[in-house]
Amino acid sequence: MVEVAQMSLQGKVSEAEWQTRIDLAACYRLVVMHGWDDLIYTHISARIPNTEHYLINAFGLSFDEITASNLVKIDINGNIIDKDCPFTINPAGFTIHSAVHAARHDAQCVMHLHTNETIAVASIEEGLLPLSQYAMFALASMSYHDYEGLAVNTDEKKRLQDNLGHANFMLLRNHGGLTVGQTIGDAFMHMYDLTRACQIQIQILSMGKPAVFVEQSIVDGIKAQANIVHTGTTGGQKSWPAMLRRVYRYDPTFAN
């Protein structure tokens, strides 16, 4: 039986690491609150600022059991840093994350989920269509990666990196969604936008009526418009404090 409780690491790690732990644990709880979790599977990883160390969930814990202190600190190869850590990680689960972190040094956080909606849209030839404002945000920075089976083949890493490029959104064919962000809040908001876009696309197409597609010129201009709306900050930075407050109200034990 996996022991969930873990002595608090507050005051025992750097302020930067502790804040990253708080934000990442909150992100896991937000996934539960939105119904995006998949038993003990899928992962959200985050780099501790100014280090080459990363935090990820302990394998065997459900997302509503994740706390700031029971997140596992690892290196880019998935090796656990703290010798007294009582937890393990899912090595196969970190394959995708390590590939992205190695290639995208601008991204602090990598979020990979198996929601029904992202799997459904990723599994049609056209992928995400310009049918809603949520789709505009994703399509401004979208990429695709073909399914190659369970992510255990290290040869797949290079192909995934090449497919992602500089994009912040990815649909993994027949598999799910992936987002990256320069902050944990950014990665979360990107996943929120991607999931909403997929949900709305499925609903529109299920109506059996002719759909109105947004012109490509408007899609191309969304990035510049978003920068104006957020006045020099990112959408994640603007929304994250409110999301953090929501998690504290929902279950403050995540911050233990």
CATH of the domain at 209: 3.40.225.10
CB atoms within 10 A of CB 20: 27
Domain with 86, as residue range(s), is 15-246
Q: Is residue 1 part of a domain?
A: no
Contact 235, 186 (CB under 8 A): yes
Q: Is residue 9 part of a domain?
A: no
Residues 206-219 have pLDDT tens digits of: 999 999 999 988 88
Identity at 9, one-letter amino acid code: L
Q: Is residue 10 part of a domain?
A: no
In this predicted structure, the answer to whether residue 242 has a pLDDT above a threshold of 80 is yes
Instruction: Give the residue-averaged pLDDT of 6-11.
Output: 87
Residues 146-199 have pLDDT tens digits of: 998 776 677 889 999 999 999 999 999 999 999 999 999 999 999 999 999 999
Q: Is residue 181 part of a domain?
A: yes
pTM, 2 dp: 0.92
In this predicted structure, the answer to whether residue 253 has a pLDDT above a threshold of 60 is yes
How many angstroms separate the first and last alpha carbons of the chain? 21
Q: Is residue 253 part of a domain?
A: no
Q: Is residue 7 part of a domain?
A: no
Q: Is residue 6 part of a domain?
A: no
Q: Is residue 88 part of a domain?
A: yes
Query: What domain count does the chain have?
Result: 1
In this predicted structure, the answer to whether residue 64 has a pLDDT above a threshold of 60 is yes
The alpha carbon dihedral of 144, 224, 199, 208 has a sign of: negative
**Considering only 24-38, 127-141, 212-226, 234-248, which range has the smallest mean pLDDT?**
212-226
